[in-house]
Amino acid sequence: MLRRSSFRGGNSRPENLGQNFLAMIASICFSVFVSGVVVFTTIAVTYDSEEPFLRPVSEISTDRTAFIDTSDVESAVAEAGFTEFSDSGSCRVDEPINCRDLEVFHLLMTAAIDKFKDVHFNRFGKPVGGDNGSSCHMAWRFRPKEGKATGFNKDYRSFRVLRFDNCTLSVVGIGGYHSGGNARRRKGKGKIEKVRSTTVDFGEKGELFRRGKYLVYVGGGERCKSMWHYMWSFVCMLGEAEFLNRTLVFDTSICLSKIHSLSGVDEEGKDFRFYFDWEHLKDASSVVDQAEFWPNWEKWGGLKLHLVEDFRVTPMRLAEAKESLIMRKFGAVEPDNFWFRVCEGEANGVMKQPWHKVSKARPLLEVASVIASRMGWDYDSVRVERREKVKNKEVWPNLDHDTCPEAVMAALRGRGVEDRRRVYVATDEGEAAFFDPMKERYAVHLLEEHRDLWGGDSDWHYETTRLNNGNAVEFDGYMRQIVDGEVFLRGKKKIETFNDLTRDCRDGVNTC
């Protein structure tokens, strides 16, 4: 019989062998780690690395070019259209300023930001040479910090730059609004750029058109009415189209009433886009020009029509209509043929009228911004409505007296407008000299002082000519009212004709 070993510790039991093995492996790994740390520390102390990120701070500070690939910098600067500047310290004081120099670009940007603290800058253009060797022109986009403007305006100004004996540069002067004409976006002479059209892509086979649901108003008494009347009706039908979840089909060729035209007669063929922002409307709602719609309607025939000839048929009753097109047809008898009648009564409490989706045309808003900028965005404003109303004493008995220059000045003083303060007068008064007495007390500004902003060399002229297939557009009475109104609204203190200047009611006696 074999004898058992006298040595048999508890750790040598079979069930403990796995634990012993893991403990041994852990001890070996820890020993390797400690040895590695010792070796790495020894190398780090004795090794003289060529890698700049491992060199002492004192050496890095004396050789910063080790971090930069100068060939990449030169390439990037060249792509941006700038020349890399030199700080070698050798220069000639009388040498022309290189406006394409990157240092000059940074200098001009800093000067503009420091000077115009009341605006938000959006983007700076590349500087170009100015009127002489010490002048640079640069453009940018901006918007005022105060106010509700959401779009950006354009400006381009001249900068006077001096070089001193130690080769440093300094901006010593910035010109007035639009003084940097060389930085202005150039427009090809006689060449009209293609603009985004009013057309809609319905696909090669018209699938999108056939699947669509549409609403159109035809006939009615809106033609050649005032633009206020037209807009009430337009917003009504736009609201119904949105309520019914349909695309609005409408005529972008409108008639300008004689009360807005300079000729004194109704003028057909005016483009909706002259007055309102078509692109914004298309982005905000579903609309299509009827000149584009009807050819597609005929091309992709077989679609059903739902005809409505009574404005008293509410939008709620049409909500379940399945036909592709709902056509509201209006007769010839006023006032039942006015489009806005659809939104009266029960519909008024159910249907929203999306006024916020109809914005004024951007070229007109830019004209207003330039005028406000010329007054430093720091002025008060007064709206003086006279025109035909002052002649009708039975309807507006006090208007003539309440809007005379003396009465307007009294209202300004009553609102705390100090002497010599800039005051913009938005008015329909045909005689500009009518307000001359006010100039003895205030710095009075009128729309007519800024005729260059819609002249043949203006941005407005260029933009509207593009829209009108290369044909010049007249700056008509309604455009003047839009610009006048926008400048008025941007004033610090605002005084209205009705409620502020006169006791008369806007719509005549006993209508307040």
> pLDDT above 90 covers what percent of the chain?
57
Instruction: Say if CB 141 and CB 153 are below 8 A apart.
Output: yes
Higher pLDDT, 258 or 189: 258
Q: In what order do the strands lie in the sheet with 247-250?
A: 287-289, 247-250, 214-219, 325-330, 305-308
The answer on pLDDT for 79 being more than 60 is no
- Gyration radius of the chain over CA positions: 37
DSSP 56-93: -HHHHHT-GGGG--HHHHHHHHHHHT-B----SS---T
**What is the tens place of the pLDDT at every residue in 411-466?**
999 999 999 999 999 999 988 899 999 999 999 999 999 999 999 988 899 999 99
The distance from CA 46 to its chain's CA centroid, rounded to whole angstroms, is 63
**What is the tens place of the pLDDT at every residue in 117-142?**
888 887 888 899 999 999 999 998 88
For 190, 414, 421, 430, 500, the CA distances from 407, given in Å and listed in that order, are 49, 10, 17, 18, 11
Q: What would the mean pLDDT of 480-509 be, rounded to a whole number?
A: 94
pLDDT, averaged across the chain: 83
CA-to-CA distance for 25 and 44, rounded, in angstroms? Answer: 29
Q: What would the mean pLDDT of 284-313 be, rounded to a whole number?
A: 92
Closest CA to 271 of 289, 290, 252: 252
CA-to-CA distance for 73 and 79, rounded, in angstroms? Answer: 10
Provide the pLDDT for residue 177. Answer: 81
Provide the pLDDT for residue 204. Answer: 59
Domain ranges of the chain: 31-67, 76-183, 210-357, 362-495
Provide the pLDDT for residue 152. Answer: 74
DSSP 267-327: EEEEEHHHHB-HHHHHHHS-EEEHHHHHHHHHHT----EEEE--TTS-GGGGTT--SSEEE
**Residue entry with tokens 């455009």:** 479
CA-to-CA distance for 47 and 19, rounded, in angstroms? Answer: 42
The answer on pLDDT for 399 being more than 80 is yes
Q: What would the mean pLDDT of 179-187 be, rounded to a whole number?
A: 78
168 DSSP 8-state letter: -
CA-to-CA distance for 214 and 247, rounded, in angstroms? Answer: 5
Closest CA to 145 of 116, 174, 125: 116
Least confident piece of the model among 21-35, 234-248, 448-462 = 21-35
Provide the pLDDT for residue 58. Answer: 38
Higher pLDDT, 187 or 309: 309
Q: What would the mean pLDDT of 229-254 be, rounded to a whole number?
A: 96
Q: What angle do CA 182, 184, 188 make, to 5 degrees?
A: 100
What is the number of alpha carbons within 13 Å of residue 472 lying toward its C-beta? Answer: 10
Q: How would you classify the pairing of strands 287-289 and 128-129?
A: unpaired
Provide the pLDDT for residue 73. Answer: 34
**What is the tens place of the pLDDT at every residue in 220-240?**
999 999 999 999 999 999 999
Q: What would the mean pLDDT of 200-214 be, rounded to a whole number?
A: 77
Instruction: Say if CB 356 and CB 399 are below 8 A apart.
Output: no
> pLDDT above 70 covers what percent of the chain?
78
**What is the tens place of the pLDDT at every residue in 309-337?**
999 999 999 999 999 999 999 999 999 99
Provide the pLDDT for residue 485. Answer: 95
The answer on pLDDT for 406 being more than 60 is yes
Instruction: Say if CB 125 and CB 183 are below 8 A apart.
Output: yes
Is residue 83 very low, low, confident or very high in pLDDT (cuts 50, 70, 90)? very low
Domain 210-357 sits in CATH 3.40.1360: no
Provide the pLDDT for residue 55. Answer: 41
Sign of CA dihedral 236, 237, 239, 244: positive
